[in-house]
Amino acid sequence: MTSPIAGGVDCDLHPAVPHLTSLLPYLNDYWRDQVTTRGMTDLISQSYPTNSPISSRPDWRPAQGKPGSNLADMQHQALDRFGTAYGICNPLYGVQMVFSEDMADAFCRALNDWLVKEWLDKDDRLRGSIVIPVQSIEKAVAEIERCAQDQRFVQVLMLVMGDMPLGKRHYWPIYAAAERLGLPIGIHAGSAYHNPPTSVGWGSYHIEDYVAQAQAFQTQLTSLIVEGVFARHPKLKMVMLESGFTWLPPFLWRLHKFWRGVRMETPWVDRAPLEIVRSNIRFSLQPVDAPPEPETLNRLFDHMQSDELLLFSSDYPHWQFDGDEVLPQGLSQELVRKIMIDNPHATYPRLKVGHDPERWPPVFGQDHAQN
Amino acid sequence: MNIQIRERPDAASSTGIKTAIADCDIHPARATKDELYPYLAKRWHAHLETFGIQAYQGMMEGPPYPKAQPNASRRDAYPPEGGPQGSSLSFMQKQHLDPNNVALGVLNPLATGQGLRNQDLAGAVCSAINDWQIEKWTSKDSRLKGSVVVANEDGASAAAEIRRRAGDKNFVQVLLLSRNVEPLGQRRYWPIYEAAQEVGLPIGVHAFGFGGNPITASGWPSHYIEEMVGHSQCQQTALASLVLEGVFERFAKLKMVMVEAGFGWAPSLAWRLDKVFARLHSEVPHLKRKPSEYIRDHIWWTTQPMEDPESRDHLFQTIEWIGWDKLLFATDYPHWDYDEPSRVLPAGVSDANRQAFYLDNAKQLYGIA
């Protein structure tokens, strides 16, 4: 077994919203009334059914409630266990899935405020990702700017399957705001289900949706690279979260080959795809879609041609590994240090900035503008 | 791009004997719009003139992602007698089959009835294309073998067409495309698999197709290159569907060929499937084996566009994960991203693997002596 080293950065933790009523204190009167009058109960995505084995390791599943909904459990099972210095919270509550951009905006704001009060304020190690209502660029940018005042928000979070490919120019104001504020864009597995969850239509099974996350990440990387996001925003980092990474080398072989063939179509792509990935794209460690033999995995690392691409993640409480095997077997100590400490700090500049409570005037509930 | 800045070696005049190869992806084209009419009932002539071809995409003429060159084909592949690239047997023989010593060429017609919304028209056009393959191509050059194209969204019609061609040595496989109305493992397509298994033909699944779904799970992208690269992701999810729906459990003798979709992604997909299956097998109890085992036993891969990593070791390791016995050489003639036979494999491959890669795997799969 490869042991984790103390002081690492866990880049993918999933605190769960227990119930939609948990967000009521963070909604204004109008939206609180909407939730209760219209009988809304919860926002659970098909991407992570609560009782699916993927959604929680068996020994991490609480006796009651949703996996990941209890801070003490997360501390005991992940933060303390792996000696984590910083843990980045990526809430996967289904707030982006509703089709009304106003409702999505209200829920996103409530979710971000909930994260601050219920998690970040209660454990100094925790950091947050800003969940945004991606259907409205104006509202998404406003929410990024609002939350970015708190240095504990270290990234902007989007889902890998949304309304449009993420490279589309429509989304660029989000990227401009993120780059300006020193926030990477985290792209997490999961679908808003505004499109079929695979590029060949609706499958029959949850397992198909989960496997297809990897293909969705591939198409998003194509879009982000060929639309020219990183020519326009060279300092912007994007982190593929719970994406898998063993597909990356053959994906880049193919993209590179076609880019050489038809690059006249996208003349603004000023560097080879592999170079863009090396400078701007990072991947969370879990899941490791590879056989357990260290020899095969080390070959795959060799195919990736860089030791700077991976960021440590437990994917807590999702079930990606058993026991303490949060790191795959056979990693060198040097690579462990890169993955757990050096690479995350190079990706998330805000981790180094201390948190100053005075700079975070909380804007809760009643103060929200009614949409 | 695609302006020829270097003379392509004139294969016809090269000296020396070349080893025979199989080309498992050749695209025959029609020289004229009405070349198919002799094989179609009269009612369809009028229908086509009036309403045209309506597929699961919006354009009547021209693709929504314009190709990077006419017909996505080599500029040096226009036949001297006129017509689009790939529409002349004699020129195909002169430019490709003879100089490259193609012993077996598998025809994969792409502009057929597949992906049409009108299923009666789809069936008629597919059947006509199959007759046309015999009359224009396979009966005139015994090296060429056809693919039975079928109305892919209409299982009964497709199965009937496959059975109609049973035992016809002009055909060596059934051809489907990767993008359909639903993922390929869905039950609406099972009559196709049942018929193919019954008549003993493998099924080629070629990249492309029209099913109405956006080519990403996040909607429609902007560029041709995204469509080109995206076919590989479509193929991955289509294959995952075939495995997870239990198609290879139900049709245990079925063989499938992934055509023009790459093969480098196969190991990663198989590992991911196995890993997730270990967690979620209770959802798919109809699977009796690990997903990777179905892939290993039932799937072959054509090589073009060849995986092209900087390091040849990375290529060889990837092929070892898949198996040298599962790759089928293909050029994609006359398309622009054609793979030149002599330049595809780097040095360092054993003679036995080279022979399997270029010829023997294909002859064995397609039952060619």
Cross-chain residue pair B271–A290, CB shorter than 8 Å: yes
Which of A201, A212, A259 is closest, CB to CB, to B225?
Answer: A259
Contact B160, B194 (CB under 8 A): no
**Other CB atoms within 10 A of residue B67 CB:** 17
In single-letter form, the type of residue at position B193 comes to Y
Average pLDDT over residues B6-28: 73
**Which chain A residues are closer than 8 Å to B236 by Cβ?**
214-215
CA distances from B10 to A161, B74, B95, B340, B342 (A): 48, 14, 9, 12, 13
Distance (Å) from the alpha carbon of A52 to chain B's nearest alpha carbon: 8
- DSSP three-state, residue A68: coil
Query: For residue range A260-283, what is the model confidence (pLDDT) as tens digits?
Result: 999 999 999 999 999 999 999 999
3-class secondary structure, A283: strand
DSSP string, B41-109: -HHHHHHHHHH---BSSS-SSS-SS--SSGGGB-GGG--TTSSSTT--HHHHIIIIITTTTEEEEEE--
B196-243 pLDDT, tens per residue?
999 999 999 999 999 999 999 999 999 999 999 999 999 999 999 999
A254 touching B (Cβ < 8 Å): yes
Q: Which residues contact B124 (CB under 8 A, 6 or more apart)?
A: B40, B41, B44, B113
The residue ranges of every structural domain in chain A are 8-352
- Restricting to A residues 172-191, those with a Cβ less than 8 Å away from any Cβ of B are 191
User: Which member of A215, A222, A226 has the closest CB to residue B236?
Assistant: A215
CB pairs under 8 A between A and B: 237
Rounded to an integer, what distance in angstroms lies between the CA atom of residue B200 and that of residue B167? 9
Here the ipTM equals: 0.95
pLDDT at A194: 96
A257/B309 CB distance under 8 A: no
Q: What is the pLDDT, as a whole number, of residue B2?
A: 52
Residues on chain B touching A261 (C-beta within 8 angstroms): 1-2, 68, 336-337
Average pLDDT over residues A311-336: 96
Residues 6+ apart with CB under 8 A from B197: B251, B253, B254
Kindly list the residues from chain A whose CB atom is less than 8 angstroms away from the CB atom of residue B183.
198, 200-203, 208
CB proximity A219 to B under 8 Å: yes
Helix (H, G, I), strand (E, B) or coil at A318: coil
Rounded to an integer, what distance in angstroms lies between the CA atom of residue B248 and that of residue B262? Answer: 21
Q: What is the mean pLDDT of residues A310-337?
A: 96
What is the predicted pLDDT for the residue at B4? Answer: 56
Facing B223 at nearest CB: one of A160, A247, A265: A265
A163 touches chain B (CB under 8 A): yes
- Please report the pLDDT score of residue A371 as a whole number: 37
Q: From the CA of B308, how many Å to the nearest CA of chain A?
A: 6
Of B234, B245, B307, nearest to A200 by CB-CB distance is B234
Q: Tell me, what's the pLDDT at B18?
A: 78
A252 to chain B: closest CA residue = B309
Choosing among 3.40.190.10, 3.20.20.140, 3.30.420.40, 3.40.50.720, the CATH entry for A8-352 is 3.20.20.140
| Pairwise CA distance, residues B150 & B25, whole Å | 17
Across the range A217-239, mean pLDDT stands at 98
CATH class of B19-366: alpha beta
Burial zone of B295 (CB within 10 Å; 0-12 exposed, 13-18 middle, 19+ buried): buried
B-chain residues within 8 Å CB-CB of A220?
216, 218
Contact between residue B337 and residue A259 where contact means Cβ atoms under 8 Å apart: no
* C-alpha–C-alpha distance, residues B331 and B142, integer Å: 19
Does the pLDDT value for residue A187 go beyond 90? Answer: yes
* DSSP secondary structure string for all residues of A71-136: HHHHIIIIITTTTEEEEEE----GGGTSS-HHHHHHHHHHHHHHHHHHTGGG-TTEEEEEE--TT-
Cα distance between residue B81 and residue B207, in whole Å: 30
CA distance B234 to B183: 9
d(CA A243, CA A289): 10
Confidence category of residue A366, pLDDT binned at 50, 70, 90: very low
Tokens for B278? 């270990």
Cβ distance of B225 and A210 shorter than 8 Å: no
Q: Is residue A105 a contact partner of residue A111, using CB atoms and an 8 Å limit?
A: no
pLDDT at B11: 52
Q: Enumerate the residues of chain B whose CB falls inside 8 A of the CB of residue A165.
A: 216, 218-222, 226
Give the CA dihedral A351, A123, A238, A345, nearest 10 degrees: 30
The H helix count followed by the E strand count for chain B is 12, 8
Lowest mean pLDDT among A49-58, A307-316, B53-62: B53-62
Please state, in angstroms and rounded to a whole number, the distance separating the CA atoms of residues A192 and A133. 11
Inter-chain contact B218–A220, Cβ cutoff 8 Å?
yes
Q: What is the mean pLDDT of chain B?
A: 95
Q: Which residue of B has its CA nearest to A58?
A: B279
Q: From the list A206, A216, A226, which residue is nearest B223 (CB)?
A: A226
From A64-78, A290-304, B89-103, the region with the lowest mean pLDDT = A290-304
Give the CA dihedral B177, B181, B183, B185, nearest 10 degrees.
Answer: -80
Q: Classify strands B299-302 and B327-328 as parallel, antiparallel or unpaired.
A: parallel
> What 3-state class would DSSP assign to B174?
strand
pLDDT digits (tens, 9 = 90+) for A145-170: 999 999 999 999 999 999 999 999 99
Confidence at residue A354, expressed as pLDDT on a 0 to 100 scale:
63
Distance CA B359, CA A326 (A): 45
Q: What pLDDT, in 10s, does the model give residues B252-287?
A: 999 999 999 999 999 999 999 999 999 999 999 999
- Phi and psi torsions of A346, nearest 5°: -70, -20
Q: Which residues of chain A have a CB within 8 Å of the CB of B216? A: 165, 195, 199, 216, 219-220, 223
For position A369, what pLDDT does the model report? Answer: 42
Alpha carbon distance A103, A109 (integer Å): 10
Residue A62 has pLDDT above 50, yes or no: yes
Instruction: Give the pLDDT of residue B143.
Output: 98
Pairwise CA distance, residues A124 & A119, whole Å: 9
B369 vs A200: CA distance, rounded Å: 37
Q: Residues B259, B207: contact at Cβ < 8 Å?
A: yes
Tens of pLDDT, residues B2-16: 555 556 555 544 444
Q: Under 8 Å CB-to-CB from A313, ≥6 apart: which residues?
A: A10, A11, A12, A241, A242, A284, A285, A286
> Touching check for A196 and chain B: CB below 8 Å?
yes
Give the gap in angstroms from C-alpha A51 to the nearest C-alpha of chain B. 11
The DSSP secondary-structure symbol of B360 reads I
Closest CA to A368 of A34, A98, A75, A19: A34
Per residue in A1-56, pLDDT (tens digit) is 789 999 999 999 999 999 999 999 999 999 999 999 999 999 999 999 999 999 99
| Model confidence pLDDT, tens digit, residues B169-184 | 999 999 999 999 999 9
pLDDT of residue A361: 44
Nearest to A2 by CA among A353, A368, A337: A337
Residue B290 has pLDDT above 90, yes or no: yes
Q: Do B216 and A167 touch (CB under 8 A)?
A: no
Closest partner residue to A289 (CB to CB) among B178, B237, B268 is B268
Q: Give one DSSP letter per residue of A118-183, joined into a string.
A: HTGGG-TTEEEEEE--TT-HHHHHHHHHHHTTSTTEEEEEEEEESSS-TTSGGGHHHHHHHHHHT-
- Please tell me the distance from the alpha carbon of residue A123 to that of residue A87, in angstroms, as a whole number: 10
Residues in A 45-104 with any Cβ partner in B closer than 8 A:
52-54
Report residue B239 as tokens.
């294959």
Whole-model pTM: value is: 0.95
Q: CA triplet B70, B310, A312: central angle to 5 degrees?
A: 110
Separation CA B49–CA B269 (nearest Å): 44
User: How many Cβ atoms are within 10 Å of A81's Cβ, its own excluded?
Assistant: 15
- The partner residue sitting opposite A208, judged by closest CB among B179, B241, B265, is B241
- Chain B CB contacts of A161 under 8 Å are 217-218
Does B229 sit within 8 Å of A255, measured CB to CB?
A: yes
Please choose, from the candidates B200, B184, B178, B341, the residue with its C-alpha nearest in 3D space to the C-alpha of residue B262.
B178
> Can you give the pLDDT at residue A368?
43
Q: Give the span between the Cα atoms of B156 and B158, in whole angstroms.
A: 5
Over chain A, what is the mean pLDDT? 94
Rounded mean pLDDT, A100-104: 98
> SS3 for B156?
helix
Interface mutation vs chain A, best among B215, B226, B234, most A CBs within 10 Å: B226
Q: Is A325 on the interface with B (CB under 8 A)?
A: no
